[in-house]
Chains A and B, each alone.
Chain A
Amino acid sequence: MEPKMSLEEQKIKLDKVTEDVLKMIDTYGFKQEGAYNLRLNGMAVCHGDSRHINIIPKEDKPGIDIHISGEAKGEMVHIPVVMSQEGIDVVYNDFYIEDGADVTIIAGCGIHGEGCSETRHDGIHAFHVGKNANVKYVENHYAEGDGSGKKVLNPVTKIYVGENSVFTLETTQIRGVDSTERENYIELGENAKLFVTEKLMTDEGQTAVSNMDVELNGENSSARIVSRSVGKGTSKQVFHPRAIGNNSCHAHIQCDSIIMDHAEISSIPEIDARHVDAQIIHEAAIGRINDEQLVKLRTFGMTEEEAESVIIESFLK
């Protein structure tokens, strides 16, 4: 009989670049423990299940199916993606979350690009959430490296939230990604609640497009979407959040942007009510850094540059 390997021995050794990128995209701390799956340059390099969370590789296409049992209470699953080589990686991940589960899913993609051709990751995710579940999905996007090749992330996220369930979506992209086109589609059932926080900063010639459709189908469903962004350099951002009230529901969309240098930001809100009891609000604002805030922080002894970075850091926190 082969001697059993200890948990430590089963862990694979990751190189420093991968470790460093993981630190940036998984702020909860990636460990090869519990339920996890690390995809590195288009390959699943290590994975683990927990008692209530099973990860099964897809047979027909790249990607994984993640089954989360209703017994999972306060559990986490980490599924980061790291790309340190050029190329295009398209992956399909499907989450099946049973009734009553309470889980935090930490995803995200980090690119370390040293080459001169494109590095691109398209993560196509679908979440099938049962009844009375509580799901938090955290996604950090990040790129680094001096290569001239474009670093591109085009995520597609589809979320189906069942009766009485709560889904919290937190997406953050603070630096390094040259181009991103994000597509989100969310359907909410009866009493389902959605909370979205989107944070984005672009610089130099980067571009970002974020489209989000929220269909409030169930009676008494609600959505609260907060989007905060900072545009620097000559970067361009386009936001198109859309709330469609098909039933008695509440939705609140708030888009706030700080514009700097020669950036361009456009916010195209769309609120669409198809029921007499649909209450949908949209607020959008774009403006430069508030001068009074700068002056206030300078009275603490900060230089203008220091004050500016504190304001941006807080705004995107």
Chain B
Amino acid sequence: MLTVEHLSYDVLEEGKQSEILSDVSFSVNDGEMLVITGPNGGGKSTLAKLLMGIYKPTAGKICLDGKDITDYSIDERAKAGIGFAFQQPPRFKGMTVRRLLSLAAGGPMDEKTCCGLLSSVGLCAMEYIDREVDATLSGGEMKRIEIATVLAKHHDLCVFDEPEAGIDLWSFSMLIKRFEQIHKEKKESLILISHQERIIRMADRIMVITDGKVESIGAAEEIMPKLFGQELDSCECRRQKGGELYGA
């Protein structure tokens, strides 16, 4: 179980203290899927990076299974059981997909396991296994490999930052199935940051983050109507134009 209490994150911008996240509290139960959504620039990715230890919070506390991990480094959090899929994964010159997946799994990986992993994210394994994780791969290919690195090992909690971004429809369906399967097995807790309705609909609970604050959090049935009902009149100009964006 993950518990986040009063988490805040400030940065210095042009000499001024600026608040990116303010007093964020929530929890994720074992086997639960929490989807975090909200407008761009609201602080979702920042929150994910605070959970992984990539950023250090200005205030607040993060506990995993009752253990305070607020002061843990990135690798200590990884060892404590957190997995993380980046929104924009880095490329590695000279490193093959197979090597990256073995590093992710924490030990040598046989070809069969490696191929199974790649297939589960919609990549033709034989085509990719010995390719380098460099600029020759497209953004979508990189994203799928990124997700495979997180699936390479068991984690108590996996954080996926916009896993759907840049992925084609067919692979997206496979990905959804994979998330559904993990969710069904209830062996790993999942935090997914997403704007995708299909992902949001899978959630046990939804948390909406706006302007660095928790706008709402609750069961999917409770938040979903607000979320999709709200959309129509969320924007001033759309409302004035009767819901049509360009005044048709």
Contacts and interface: CB of A to CB of B under 8 A. Distances in A.
B78 to A, nearest CB: 4
Given A297-B103, A299-B74, A300-B104, A290 B79 contact: no
B54 interface: yes
Given A310-B103, A314-B95, A314-B99, A303 B75 contact: yes
B94 A315 contact: yes
A78 interface: no
B38 interface: no
A314 B90 CA distance: 14
Interface in B55-114: 73-75, 78-79, 82-84, 86, 89-90, 92-95, 99, 103-104, 106
A2 interface: no
B86 A296 contact: yes
B146 to A, nearest CB: 9
Given A314-B95, A314-B99, A300 B78 contact: yes
Contacts of A314: 92-95, 99
B52 interface: yes
Contacts of A316: 94
Interface range on chain B (Cβ under 8 Å from partner)? 20 to 34
B228 to A, nearest CB: 33
A299 B92 contact: no
Nearest to A295: B54
Contact of A296 (B73, B89, B93, B106): B89
A314 B83 CA distance: 23
A124 B83 CA distance: 53
B37 interface: no
Contacts of B82: 299
Nearest to A302: B75
Given A297-B103, A299-B52, A300-B106, A311 B78 contact: no
B103 A317 contact: no
Interface string A275-317: 0000000000000001011011111111110000011001111
Task: From A256, A295, A297, A299, name the one whose CB has the most chain B CB atoms within 10 angstroms.
Answer: A299
B189 interface: no
B8 interface: no
A113 B83 CA distance: 47
Contacts, number: 52
Nearest to B49: A295
A311 B92 contact: yes
Contact of B75 (A301, A310, A317): A301
Contacts of A300: 75, 78, 103-104, 106, 149
B90 A301 contact: no
Contacts of B73: 298
A264 B175 CA distance: 46
A292 B90 contact: yes
Interface string A242-260: 0000000000000010000
A141 interface: no
B153 to A, nearest CB: 8
A295 B74 CA distance: 8
B88 to A, nearest CB: 8
A228 interface: yes
B109 to A, nearest CB: 12
Interface in B91-148: 92-95, 99, 103-104, 106
B135 to A, nearest CB: 11
A255 to B, nearest CB: 12
A174 to B, nearest CB: 14
A228 B92 CA distance: 13
Contacts of A311: 92
Contacts of A296: 86, 89-90
B92 A293 contact: yes
A256 B93 contact: yes
Given A310-B103, A314-B99, A298 B74 contact: yes
Nearest to B88: A292
Interface of B: 52, 54, 73-75, 78-79, 82-84, 86, 89-90, 92-95, 99, 103-104, 106, 149
Would you list the 9 A-B pairs with minimal beta carbon distance, nearest first?
A292-B90, A301-B78, A314-B95, A298-B74, A314-B94, A299-B84, A298-B75, A317-B94, A293-B90
9 contacts: A256-B93, A292-B86, A295-B90, A300-B103, A301-B78, A301-B79, A303-B75, A311-B92, A316-B94
